[in-house]
Amino acid sequence: MTGIQQARVFSEHVTIDVQLPYLIYLPAEYGKSDRTWPLMLFLHGAGERGSDLDLVSQHGPPKLAAAGRQFPFILVSPQCQTDEYWSVHILKALLDRILATHRVDRSRIYLTGLSMGGNGTWRLATAHPGLFAALVPICGWGDASRVGILKEVPVWAFHGKKDPVVVFERGERMVRALTAAGGNVKFTVYPNAGHDSWTQAYDDPALYTWMMEQRKK
């Protein structure tokens, strides 16, 4: 397999009706016992679409893993095709494959994404609300009329107040709707951040500490 070996990041692909390449990071102790591991699915933004898988490592957890950051979970980072948006059907098929081929703790599957990936996070989670232990949408948006289905899923959302691409109100609308439905939701607003609220969010160790504490009921 190709990839950044020293960080234990590898590239693979799953074929459904199209090919979906992805990076996969495995913890250093993975495979040394029968232990199962939490899983994070990371969805990139529109700027990382295409056929160059290295683009996926430009931001977020795959960037940190490629730089040598050690994570206590499996990290799967697929790449969306040029001019496409995240397909709920294809992402679910990818997850099914990972669950079938890797030692995953199914009570601790986490979903996160930035910008277009934040939208993909909301859409995939509302399509499969029983699958995830926690969600971390960053500068994302979605269908606020459907978000109540996620009231049992812990969510920590992030957004830059000065975001000119996905305006703050679009993310806030999702948080307000989920809160009104009785959801368990945290919302971190960076008052001086523009569209790039993800660097600050993913660099914060508190995000991973909180995430790892969440288990599916």
Structural domains of the chain, with CATH? 3-213 (3.40.50.1820)
Q: Tens of pLDDT along 144-160?
A: 999 999 999 999 999 99
In this structure, of 6-20, 24-38, 63-77, the range with the lowest mean pLDDT score is 6-20
pTM, 2 dp? 0.92
**Residue 61: pLDDT above 60?**
yes
Q: What is the mean pLDDT of residues 67-80?
A: 96
| pLDDT-derived band at 4, boundaries 50, 70, 90 | very low
Minimal CA–CA distance to 41: which of 80, 7, 74?
A: 74
The pLDDT score that the predictor gives to residue 18 is 52
Q: Which long-range contacts (CB under 8 A, 24 or more apart) does 25-30 make?
A: 25/61, 25/62, 25/65, 25/71, 25/74, 25/75, 25/76, 25/77, 26/74, 27/70, 27/71, 27/72, 27/73, 27/74, 28/70, 30/74, 30/103
Residues 6 or more apart in contact with residue 75 via CB below 8 angstroms: 23, 24, 25, 39, 40, 42, 61, 62, 65
How many Cβ atoms from other residues are within 10 Å of residue 14's Cβ?
20
Task: Decide if pLDDT at 126 tops 80.
Answer: yes
Check pLDDT > 50 for residue 6.
no
At 87-98, the pLDDT tens digits run: 999 999 999 999
When comparing pLDDT for 105 and 7, which is higher? 105
